Amino acid sequence: MQFDEALEVQRAMAIYAHPDDAEFGMAGTVAKWVKAGVEFTYCMVTNGASGSQDPDMTRERLRDIRAAEQSEAAKILGVRNVVFLEFEDGYLEPTIDVRRAVARQIRIHRPDVIFTMDPTMRYGGGYVNHPDHIAAAEVVLRSINPDASTRQMLPELWQKERLEPHKPKALFLMAFGNPDTIVDVSAVVDVKIKALLAHRSQIDADSVDFIKGWMKEAGKKKRYAYAEGFKVLRFEEEGARRRDTRREERKAPRAHGRRASRSTTTSRPARRVR
């Protein structure tokens, strides 16, 4: 799938803390990309065992319920692989064990694009961000430099498991405010809502209007009925740089203008506990 003139995507991976994190911020984009032929992998870092106020619930039962809900949501969206790393929900820190586990999955699945949350988002709009969201996003940043991309970092992955270093072409951070890239998801909004509602222990039908309102707001500036917003970082590939150099040698030099940002809009962060 050609996302834009500079970014071709065959494989994408979402790395996030809890079941439903990906569905809230990016399930429309997932559904749209899967329809366009992208192979999608979910990598859920925690086991989701903290997400309940019910005194009769146990962490063990909730872990199993939420894993089943996440698998169902992924199936609705057409996500090919779902990886459960099963670190304890609510206790996540960017330790070297978590970093190794995430880097391993990136080296196995070799995504062109990685999605995660914005690790700089700590609070705003009456919402304090969950520390697991920040920790998971921090681990993703560290995976790009150096954990997944550098041969002599975590050398056991390369030496013992034969997992070559990998760096994606781009990182998409789910942005609830000030995104620089807006994805039109109008055609797949119903698929997104269906996937969200698969998280029955977390979301009920009353939340649908709120989520749709939030997606409408994200699409306003571009006149999309429903949209999702991201902050996008692009990384130069080693191979691409070599190809560019050869091309430059053959042709007269031309200016490489940095593409203007695609759009901006403002939207409120989700008001939810998790």
Give me the residue label for tokens 């990906």: 22
Nearer to Zn ion, 153 or 198 (CB): 198
Among the residue ranges 19-27, 111-119, 148-156, 231-239, the one whose residues contact Zn ion (CB under 5 A): 19-27
Q: Which residues pair with 211 in a beta bridge?
A: none
Nearer to Zn ion, 39 or 132 (CB): 132
Instruction: State which of residues 21, 118, 138, 147 lies at the interface with Zn ion (CB under 5 A).
Output: 21
Nearer to Zn ion, 107 or 274 (CB): 274
Instruction: State which of residues 3, 9, 18, 117 lies at the interface with Zn ion (CB under 5 A).
Output: 18
Among the residue ranges 15-23, 52-60, 207-215, 241-249, the one whose residues contact Zn ion (CB under 5 A): 15-23
Which of the residues 97 through 156 are near Zn ion (CB under 5 A)?
none
Nearer to Zn ion, 116 or 143 (CB): 116
Cα dihedral 206/211/213/218 (nearest 10): 180
Which of the residues 245 through 274 are near Zn ion (CB under 5 A)?
274
CB of 167 to Zn ion, least distance (A): 26
Nearer to Zn ion, 88 or 190 (CB): 88
Among the residue ranges 10-18, 75-83, 155-163, 179-187, the one whose residues contact Zn ion (CB under 5 A): 10-18
In whole angstroms, give the CA distance from residue 65 to residue 17. 16
CB of 133 to Zn ion, least distance (A): 6
Q: What are the residues binding Zn ion (CB under 5 A)?
A: 18, 21, 274
